[in-house]
Amino acid sequence: MSLSTINFKDYPGRAKQLRELINLFGMPEDLVPSLYLFGQTATGKTYLIQEIFKNNSKLPFSYIDCIECFTTNTLFETVLNQLYNHYPSPKNSFSNVIQCRSIHSFIQELQKIDPVQTVYLVFDNVRELLELSEQTVSCLLNIGELTGQNYTTILLSDMIWENFRPKNGCIEPIIILLPNYTKEQIIQILLNEIEEEKTKTLYKTFVKLFYEFIQNTSRNLNEIRYLSNLIFPKYVSLSQQETSQLKLYRRIEPLIKIILDHSHMHKITNSELETYWENCESTRSPFEQSNEITEEERALNLPRFSKILLVSVFLASHVPQSKDLQVFTTLIKKRASKKNVDIQSDNKKLLQSPKTFPLDRLLSIFSFFTQAKVDCSSEIYNQLASFVTMGYISIKTSLASLDNINFRCNLSFDIIKEISKSIDIEIGKFLIY
């Protein structure tokens, strides 16, 4: 396995670690120092190691899940079984290739193998080893020195090395950290598992929505994969019934919340999923079941804070930034004293496509209506995230830096006009400049 033959796009968020591992492994005869890969559950530790050996059959190795080894004897004998290609079965009465009762006998058996090229001993979930014997951990990390031959130990753990280091000392391994996946990386990993392009487009929309719900509960890739695959078929079915993205979002939202409430207790079966779905549908109000529900009706049910923020979003997207001082000033009440402003003569401004605007400008306009200084609080961010999910606004720049995000309003003037009326804001006078 070489760098030139790998498509690193297949490993979102792990290209750097994969390059480092491949460079460390080098040629088959090279002696590699002991490695310690750590990261939280479902960060790709086991997957990366298995991919390396899968794509390079010339590298001899053994892979041991320490959870399955309840004694040191079982651990040592399992390693030797794999190195000798021996598999306990009914034919051999489930016997091991060699009985290994101590660390000393384990080292002797490894010396008998006398490998020409480096042999890799991979131990997963090594937290369990601490409960067996600290001396075992030290032995495994020093295995190359103790045998005098080309053996390399690779430990996979969710513990930092400082909490794992044996008290009686050992050769310090090379430490490789696998950080948690970001939202974009999780979405890309899940999309890579979808083969059909049509399904992939719909799945991407769903996963983005689902992640907004689950991110405060769990960011474990395995849990997100399991729950999203459980709910997605229902989302596909609803997408064929609902033409509006907002209606689709509102119908699937109660099911997602129920699933998240129950998922921590046990795995949810398909029959339970159907029961939850029937409960969600039976509790929908006649207003929600009506096919006449519009974005305007949804927006009018928002709290006052959200309505003011939506009006601010609309104005930031339609009023040129160069006109801010002219339009948003405390003297505007004197300049536009009429209660009803005819904006038909200025229709050209509304016919223009909405422009993008930065977050700080939105906050300035929002503070004009609230008559108070507004900071970038979590409440503002959460509300804007909800608007993005519901399709009221869209993000036009990268989410890498919150300070550089640009937004654009997707709502029509007719909807904003009704929203502004409900909170006693004359939207028309802000569009005359």
CA angle 190, 196, 198 (to 5 degrees): 100
A 10 A CB-CB count for 123 gives 23
Any idea what DSSP says for residue 403?
G
Residue reference for tokens 């719909």: 202
Do the bridges between strand 119-124 and strand 151-157 make them parallel or antiparallel, or are there none, so unpaired? parallel
Nearest to 119 by CA among 172, 49, 59: 59
- List Cβ neighbours of 299 (8 Å cut-off, separation of 6 or more): 307, 310, 392, 411, 415, 418, 419
The answer to whether 408 and 359 have CB atoms below 8 angstroms apart is no
How far apart CA 406 and CA 11 sit, in angstroms, is: 29
State residue 8's pLDDT score.
82
How far apart CA 363 and CA 316 sit, in angstroms, is: 10
How far apart CA 318 and CA 430 sit, in angstroms, is: 10
Do the bridges between strand 393-395 and strand 406-409 make them parallel or antiparallel, or are there none, so unpaired? antiparallel
Q: Which 3 state secondary structure label does DSSP give 175?
A: strand
State residue 80's pLDDT score.
94
Strand partners, 64: 123
Number of DSSP helices (H) and strands (E) in the chain, helices first: 22, 8
Which contacts of 358-361 are long-range, i.e. CB under 8 A and separated by 24 or more positions? 358/404, 358/405, 358/406, 359/402, 359/403, 359/405, 359/407, 360/403, 361/316, 361/321, 361/324
Write out pLDDT tens, residues 270-298: 888 888 888 887 776 554 455 444 555 56
How far apart CA 112 and CA 114 sit, in angstroms, is: 5
Q: Rounded to a whole number, what is the distance in angstroms from the first to the last CA of the chain?
A: 65
The answer to whether 134 and 166 have CB atoms below 8 angstroms apart is yes
Write out pLDDT tens, residues 321-348: 888 777 776 444 444 444 444 444 444 4
State residue 336's pLDDT score.
44
How far apart CA 8 and CA 365 sit, in angstroms, is: 44
How far apart CA 100 and CA 36 sit, in angstroms, is: 25
DSSP calls for 24-93: HH-STTSPPPPEEEE-STTSSHHHHHHHHHHT-TTS-EEEEEGGG--SHHHHHHHHHHHHTT----GGGT
**pTM, entire model:** 0.64
The topology under which CATH files domain 297-431 is Arc Repressor Mutant, subunit A (1.10.10)
How many angstroms separate the Cα of 146 from the Cα of each of 105, 111, 119, 173? 12, 9, 14, 15
How far apart CA 389 and CA 249 sit, in angstroms, is: 8
Task: List the domain boundaries for the chain.
Answer: 3-177, 183-291, 297-431
How far apart CA 237 and CA 162 sit, in angstroms, is: 50
A 10 A CB-CB count for 333 gives 10
How far apart CA 359 and CA 127 sit, in angstroms, is: 46
Per-residue tens of pLDDT for the chain, all 433 residues: 554 567 888 899 999 999 998 888 866 666 777 999 999 999 999 999 998 888 887 888 999 999 998 899 999 999 999 999 999 889 888 899 999 989 999 999 999 988 888 899 999 999 888 888 778 888 898 898 899 888 999 999 999 998 888 777 778 899 999 999 999 999 999 999 988 887 888 999 999 888 888 887 788 899 999 999 999 999 999 888 877 777 788 888 888 888 887 776 567 888 888 888 888 877 765 544 554 445 555 666 777 888 888 999 999 898 888 887 777 764 444 444 444 444 444 444 554 678 888 888 888 888 888 876 656 666 788 788 888 887 888 887 655 555 578 888 888 888 888 888 888 888 888 877 5
State residue 284's pLDDT score.
64
As a CATH number, domain 3-177 is 3.40.50.300
